[in-house]
Structure formats: C-alpha cells, structure tokens
Amino acid sequence: MSKQKTSWQDTVSDWLVSIIVAVALAFCIRTFIVEPYMVEGSSMYPTLVNHERLLVNKFTYFVSDPQKGEIIVFRYPKDESRDFIKRVIATAGDTVEMRSGKVNGTEIDEPYTWKEDPKGPNLSDYRKSVVPEGHIFVLGDNRNNSEDSRFADVGFVPLDLVKGKASLAFWPVDRWRMLP
C-alpha cells in the first residue's frame, strides 16, 4: 500500500515541478526574449493593420540600440501602462525636421508611408531639432493618423521606454511576414 502512495506522491511532485519550471520559463521568455503584441489603431497603416498580431523581440535591445527604419514597441511616456508602436526615424545626435510632410527634405526615402490617405497628403511640419543622447524620434507610417514624436505627449522617446523590435507578423495567417 505504501508503494502506491509513494508512486502517487511522486507523480504529483513531478507534475508540480514541471508546472513550476514551465511557468518560470514562460515568464523569462516573455520578460527577456519575445512577447506577443496586438496592433491597435491605424497609425502604422499600411505596414501594420488594426488587430494584427506580432512578436516583439525584446532581446535585441539588450545588446544594441534601435536603428533607423525599425518598427518598435515602447511605453507611452505620459502613461507607461500603454504601449505604442512606431517606426524609428532618427537616433541620438541626428537632426530631424519636417516640412510639408517630408522628413529632412528628400533625404529619407519612405516607401512605407501611406500615400493614398483619403484625408489627403500629410503636410505637417516639425521644427528642426537634434535628437538628444539616449532618445529616438519615431513616426507612424500613417502620418495623418499617428500620435508620435511630432507631438509633445510623445516627443523624443527615451531608450529605457523601448520594449523591443517588432520582428514577425503572425496573425492573420495570410499576412504572415518578417518585419524590417
């Protein structure tokens, strides 16, 4: 009889250890390596659409800083419980300016921006500024519908608010692709 009890206790013990290890691994993976993210809104249209699901690579920025052209997820500076997703346009030390919707004149080729917006072309201006050390300048691909670094509530994004790089769009399945 004691052999059955020991066997049952061993089984429960094995299951508990397995569950604890699985939870610890999931926590570590989500905290330090990769996290799922759902796009909310149209600020990154046409590159990303509302309710599209992505994997955000959190490990990348432990070893390097965000680079121009990368799509990142960051905590909103005015309310860090909210996440935003935008494209890095300028990094520390870069000069950035917008006139009539063009970033730095014709210096930056931006094939990813939405050119067929029913609101018309983006004609916004942003004063000439230098991105401070430890910060980045971000814009949405849908410039007419994006709360981004042009606005005081976001401004230059501190690197410590960057959660990770959007690396893979996986849902819906027909839009599965690696992101730049």
Q: Catalytic residues, which ones?
A: 43, 86
- Computed from CA positions of residues 76, 80, 85, 89, in that sequence, does the dihedral angle turn out positive or negative? positive
Q: SS3 of 155, please?
A: coil
Strand segments (E) across the chain: 34-38, 53-57, 71-75, 83-91, 95-99, 102-103, 126-130, 135-139, 157-158, 162-171, 177-178
Single out the residue of 60, 55, 122 nearest to residue 85, CA to CA. Answer: 55
Question: What residues does 90 pair with on adjacent strands?
Answer: 137
Nearest-angstrom CA–CA distance, 149 and 131: 11
